[in-house]
Amino acid sequence: MKALIEERRAGLVENIHEGIICGVNHQLETVYTVGNVEQYVYYRSAAKPIQAIPAFMIDIKEKYQLTDEEATLFTASQRGETYHINALESLLKKLKVQEKNLYCAPSLALNSEPRNEMIRNRQEKRKLYHNCAGKHLGFLAVCRELDYPIEGYWKIDHPLQQKIVSILADLAEISTEKIKVGVDGCGVPVFALPLKNMATPYLKLACPDLIEDMEVRNAVIQMTKLMNENPDIVASERFVCSVLLRDSNIVAKGGAQGVYCFGLKKERMAFALKVLSGSEDVWPNILASILEQIAYENKATIAALKELRTSAIKNDAGTKVGEIKTVFSLSNVH
């Protein structure tokens, strides 16, 4: 394990965030490492774009005349902002699926402001408000279109989940037998792969010419275009995913417990990382450092990440009392 971030107060190390990082190139070679990149890591919500591919393969967007925002929800970890809720309500009506059939738990908005508003208005929790509701709506629509049973769509032996595992295995250049399966927070299968294999699908999302299956390739092209054009739908303002996706050169998605993956189109490179403390707070610091260390050209993207979380630790009065220091160096394998 390697330290990625140190948080120092008055010169004393207060917190250390350890982790692992892997970078791959277009030849599917591991070119940058920090720590053991053979370690298995759960994708968590970083898998959402991969899980959404079946919906784009059968062109649900066109068939049901979905807006760009509505279709982007299939890839999203929506946070309950007004534009999320409006798109979810519309998507539910257009797809003509039943909210009761969503397997995710009834929830309130994730973001504090809309959540507090829901509480003030005495709104009840709804499955539609769950962070993963867009993904589940996509699952239900795919099941109907492919004549799969709705019942049990969240189980690993369901044909939809088997289709997703097959797509993931092809993208990750790994056999399905080597993919470990758990249960995610929303109840559907969650997949664990060696970190180096987690980066490879994001390379192909950024560079779809590397995808041999033309159906999957065309679906990825459509899906990633929507993610870049509707970044706030994927997360929300001032969140890492949305900041990175505003850069049209980047395809990115984070997951719970400190997992992050992104691909760079022009550089034909991708990275996967895991913060072993599970912290998401240090993502901006780590991601900015990775981009700086590979001499990424778009300085505005790096600056936007640094604005999300500066290197200064401040007390309640706004006085600087410490610093957040990046302490890792990418090891160039070649």
C-beta of residue 196 within 8 angstroms of C-beta of residue 24: yes
Determine the angle formed by the axes of helices 214-229 and 48-57, rounding to 10 degrees. Answer: 120
Which domains does the chain carry?
Answer: 2-64+151-332 (3.40.710)
Give residue 265's pLDDT: 98
- State the chain's mean pLDDT as an integer: 96
Mean pLDDT, to the nearest integer, of 261-270? 98
- pLDDT tens digits, residue range 90-136? 999 999 999 999 999 999 999 999 999 999 999 999 999 999 999 99
Alpha-carbon distance 1 to 145, whole Å?
Answer: 45
C-beta of residue 285 within 8 angstroms of C-beta of residue 324: yes
- pLDDT tens digits, residue range 289-311? 999 999 999 999 999 999 999 88
Q: Give the pairing of strands 269-275 and 259-264.
A: antiparallel
Alpha-carbon distance 140 to 111, whole Å?
Answer: 25
- pLDDT tens digits, residue range 51-85? 999 999 999 999 999 999 999 999 999 999 999 99
Is the confidence at residue 333, as pLDDT, over 80?
Answer: no
Token duo for residue 43: 């994708």
Alpha helices in the chain (DSSP H): 48-57, 60-63, 68-72, 82-95, 112-120, 133-145, 159-172, 195-206, 214-229, 231-234, 240-245, 283-293, 299-308
- pLDDT tens digits, residue range 163-196? 999 999 999 999 999 999 999 999 999 999 999 9
Q: Which residues pair with 173 in a beta bridge?
A: none
Q: How confident is the model at residue 21 (pLDDT cuts 50, 70, 90)?
A: very high
Alpha-carbon distance 157 to 108, whole Å?
Answer: 30
Mean pLDDT, to the nearest integer, of 245-267? 98
Determine the angle formed by the axes of helices 133-145 and 82-95, rounding to 10 degrees. Answer: 10
Q: Within 10 A of 246 (CB to CB), how many other CB atoms are there?
A: 15
Helix (H, G, I), strand (E, B) or coil at 276: coil
Is the confidence at residue 225, as pLDDT, over 70?
Answer: yes
Token duo for residue 92: 């539910």
Percentage of the chain beyond pLDDT 70 is 100
Alpha-carbon distance 65 to 51, whole Å?
Answer: 21
Give residue 334's pLDDT: 63
Give residue 331's pLDDT: 81
Q: Within 10 A of 64 (CB to CB), how many other CB atoms are there?
A: 16
What is this structure's pTM? 0.96
Alpha-carbon distance 154 to 188, whole Å?
Answer: 5
C-beta of residue 135 within 8 angstroms of C-beta of residue 52: yes
Give residue 54's pLDDT: 98
